[in-house]
Structure 1
Amino acid sequence: MAIIKLKQPQELSRLRRLALASQGLLQAQAYGRGLIGAKKAINHIGYVQIDTISVVERAHHHVFYSRVPNFKPAMVDQMLADKSIFEYWSHAAAFLPIGDFRFSLPYKHAIKSGQTHWYKNHDKKLMGELLTRIRIDGPLRSRDIESNTDKLAGWWDWKPAKKALEQMYMEGDLMVSKREGFQKTYDLTERVLPVHIDTTMPSTEEFAAHLIEQQLRCHGFASLKGLTYLRKNTELRKAMKTLVMLRLGEGTLDQIELSNGERFVLEPGAFELPLPRLNKRLLILSPFDNSVIQRDRLKAIFKYDYQIECYVPEAKRQFGYFCLPLLYGDQFIGRMDCKAHRKTRHLEIKALHLDGHNCDEDLIIEAFIKAIKKFCQFQGCDSVSLINSYPRKQTLGLRRALQSLG
């Protein structure tokens, strides 16, 4: 059982590079460009979280944008339409590679067997009526129910019907066949799912093995807790622990130990593999980006204490409603709270916080201006303004630099 103990700063820097390279964040186009790149990206990172917050471009578009040059939000709809991806629950609502479909089955089975996801009480009669209607009349949009105010025969009150649709979706009888923004279209799973997709229920041990492969591929290394991140399946956690201990004993997994004693597993030789060089790009990431979503890991590896504050009462917020993590090289060097005003095509930076770091200040500012220019284009904005920045001594210079962007 090999244990690599990290003691030198350069060793931790290498671990950070492994994490970022595994996420496709060090390379300019790790997965290629456009639609093809987006498909390769989600197959590699395993999921893209869906979120409704829209102060800037939504998280599921933002995650692709951070990795795939020439990505356009409409490409997510294209991937859903051509069945490269499907929508379901990972640790949260997410788009997932269609090839991983069978690993959604254990949770669907649990929900169908009585485990509660959203709703405790289910209207089985209404679910049956809606399922019959979809089977006979074809796909059903949530707005088809929502917009019916006359309560005609064969239609249903929107709120109970929406719950029924969502329950059948969580149980696996329905899938989302297309989206228009956040309006879903539901259809029978057998009509949505490509015929070649494996629908065999995986055993708990198979599921654990799948998660190990996925997490090591997209993160480079993982803690035992991280391998089943936010999954409440006790049997799965037990199977994962057993499998990890078995592979450590066989020598098909190694361990890395941080100076605080925290351990992560990785494939033998992964720590010594050639890695991309650090670049001078600054990346503006989503709060729901795969690279930052495991906050304990983020703090342990990058010494970056991050919390999304949209769920925090306003009076208790330190950095702002929807602060975006800022990555430069192998360091998270700050966060930015901003809002895209779509009617006026203007990006308002409410607050820019640059934390203590050992990077050249001028290089960071230069990289930030380049990143903001691209970020504005992604947001559909033609101009940008800065309200506050910290430390404050940088504010005037940053404002001047930003003015040149429009």
Structure 2
Amino acid sequence: MPSTSLPIPTVLQPDEARRYLVGQLGLARPLFPPGARGVRALLKSLRCIQLDPLDVIGTNADLVALARVEGIARGDVYRHLLPGHAFEHFAKERCLLPASAFPYYRERAAQAPWWRLEERLKRIPEPVLHAVLDEVTQRGPSSSRELKDHGAVVPIDWSGWKGTARATAMALEVLWTRCQVVVCGRGPGGKVYDVPGRALPRMADARVKHTFERWALSERVEAAGLLSRASGPHWSMLSDVRTSALPDTLVAEGLLEEVTVPGSPRRYLAPLDFREREFPEPDARMRILGPLDPVLWDRGLVSVAFGFDYIWEVYKPAAQRQWGWYVCPLLHRGQLVGRLEARVREGVLQVDNLWREKGVKLDDAALDEALARHAVACGAEVARRPRARAAS
């Protein structure tokens, strides 16, 4: 519980919270250069981009970047960031992080609580870990399939989701968690690994200025814009930090602010100077958001600030879904105005389902322009869609 000696929280009205989040998270208008420079600047600004393997109309990482950076296409996020500019690790679940974050992860050798590193260590003998690390060090960027086969292991089972049964692949997972290797690219054989000294030469041995927890909490507040003090996936690997004295300490030191938003029972952490930050007015472009876009991390806050009830139903049985399998929200002029379900089929970006929010008349021209841009980014020749129907 927050200390009674802390400053009185700042009250942020829902429309103020919405405008701030849209600006803070880079969704008002293009703020970054086009192409590779823009993707790299975007990652530094957002602090992390959540990863998900599903690639329906682009992966979540693609969609996060396409909503904010011009001159890029599906798959460019990895091409422009790896190697040298980013690495993968746990932040808000598994994410791409800027290279500047690596020294903190190296010092902490961070792991998400659910990733079961100890169970892997019981399955992989220490000599195998050393052998795999030595081979990657000697040969350079390698996928698990390109390295020596060290036999089989009992896979880890996540409620029916099986992990790898290959000792070499599991050894790489352990070394990756320990920051002894990093993902430096993706190829036909999957993730490509290398040692940090080659993949992140400027940051591999850099020193840290703060404890991991202090640095990571400040970064997560910047990444979320408004970070709820209640538990939830927005805390992910920082769950222990949430319940520690550190959030109160940073508020008391004047490094973070506490915020309340009428309509929400929660308190939020915000950057100290967030009220003084100036953001442009939202442009007329409609944006297709990834299902794990940072503006959607806190569904309770999305409901209060945007009046939008968001749910991602990709892991629900079809009969239990309200909307669809891979549904993406639509952002227009700073408002969440609808959602769509689409796929790329035979050179066509085909929108199968399109919903508008109650009381909203979708801007057809802005929607068609958004779909045309996205079709080009996906390598499709044309986009097709039905008429929008009202959300039920």
The AA in structure 1 aligned to 2:19 is R
The AA in structure 2 aligned to 1:243 is L
Does 2:251 correspond to 1:245? Answer: no
Residue of structure 1 in register with 2:145 after alignment: 143
Shift of 1:337: 0.6
Query: In structure 2, how many angstroms separate the alpha carbons of the residues matched to 1:60 and 1:126?
Result: 33
Residue of structure 2 in register with 1:305 after alignment: 309
Shift of 1:40: 0.7
Query: In structure 1, how many angstroms separate the alpha carbons of the residues matched to 2:297 and 2:118?
Result: 21
The AA in structure 2 aligned to 1:283 is R
3-state DSSP of counterpart to 1:168: helix
Query: In structure 2, how many angstroms separate the alpha carbons of the residues matched to 1:274 and 1:232?
Result: 31
Alpha-carbon distance change, 159 to 249 in structure 1, aligned in 2, over 3 angstroms: closer
Unaligned stretches of 5+ residues in structure 1? 146-153, 393-406
Does 2:334 correspond to 1:340? Answer: no
Residue of structure 2 in register with 1:380 after alignment: 379
Cα root mean square deviation, aligned: 3.0
TM-score (norm 1): 0.80
Deviations 1:326-380 (A, max 9, x none): 1122221221011111xx21111111011114x5x26x22221121111111111
- 2:215 pairs with one of 210, 214, 217: 210
| Greater Rg over alpha carbons, structure | 1
Query: In structure 1, how many angstroms separate the alpha carbons of the residues matched to 2:281 and 2:331?
Result: 15
The question of whether the paired residues in 2 share the 8 Å contact of 1:102 and 1:202 is answered with: no
Shift of 1:78: 3.4
Does 2:162 correspond to 1:155? Answer: no
Query: In structure 1, how many angstroms separate the alpha carbons of the residues matched to 2:358 and 2:382?
Result: 28
The question of whether the paired residues in 2 share the 8 Å contact of 1:309 and 1:321 is answered with: yes
Residue of structure 2 in register with 1:133 after alignment: 135
Equivalences for 1:360-399 in 2 at 5 Å? 361=361, 364-386=363-385, 389-391=388-390
The question of whether the paired residues in 1 share the 8 Å contact of 2:28 and 2:282 is answered with: yes
Shift of 1:226: 7.4
Equivalences for 1:233-272 in 2 at 5 Å? 235-239=240-244, 242-260=245-263, 261-268=265-272, 270-271=274-275
Does 2:10 correspond to 1:4? Answer: yes
The AA in structure 1 aligned to 2:299 is R
The question of whether the paired residues in 2 share the 8 Å contact of 1:215 and 1:227 is answered with: no
3-state DSSP of counterpart to 1:277: coil
Instruction: Report which stretch shifted further, 219-228 or 270-279.
Output: 219-228
The AA in structure 2 aligned to 1:38 is V
The AA in structure 1 aligned to 2:229 is L
3-state DSSP of counterpart to 2:72: coil
Alpha-carbon distance change, 35 to 195 in structure 1, aligned in 2, over 3 angstroms: closer
Deviations 1:95-152 (A, max 9, x none): 11000112323652668xx96378463312432332232233443222325xxxxxxx
The AA in structure 1 aligned to 2:10 is I
Instruction: Report which stretch shifted further, 192-201 or 372-381.
Output: 192-201
- 1:223 pairs with one of 222, 228, 239: 228
Query: In structure 2, how many angstroms separate the alpha carbons of the residues matched to 1:248 and 1:103?
Result: 22
Alpha-carbon distance change, 211 to 102 in structure 1, aligned in 2, over 3 angstroms: same
The AA in structure 1 aligned to 2:37 is I
Query: In structure 1, how many angstroms separate the alpha carbons of the residues matched to 2:367 and 2:286?
Result: 6
Alpha-carbon distance change, 237 to 222 in structure 1, aligned in 2, over 3 angstroms: closer
Instruction: Report which stretch shifted further, 319-328 or 287-296.
Output: 287-296
The AA in structure 2 aligned to 1:164 is A
Query: In structure 2, how many angstroms separate the alpha carbons of the residues matched to 1:59 and 1:233?
Result: 22
- 1:23 pairs with one of 22, 25, 28: 25
Percent identity of the aligned residues? 20
Alpha-carbon distance change, 173 to 12 in structure 1, aligned in 2, over 3 angstroms: same
Q: Give the paired residue count.
A: 368
The question of whether the paired residues in 1 share the 8 Å contact of 2:196 and 2:204 is answered with: no
The question of whether the paired residues in 2 share the 8 Å contact of 1:348 and 1:387 is answered with: no
Does 2:181 correspond to 1:174? Answer: yes
Alpha-carbon distance change, 329 to 387 in structure 1, aligned in 2, over 3 angstroms: closer
Unaligned stretches of 5+ residues in structure 2? 1-6, 152-164
The AA in structure 2 aligned to 1:66 is A
The question of whether the paired residues in 1 share the 8 Å contact of 2:18 and 2:305 is answered with: yes
The question of whether the paired residues in 1 share the 8 Å contact of 2:302 and 2:309 is answered with: yes
TM-score (norm 2): 0.83
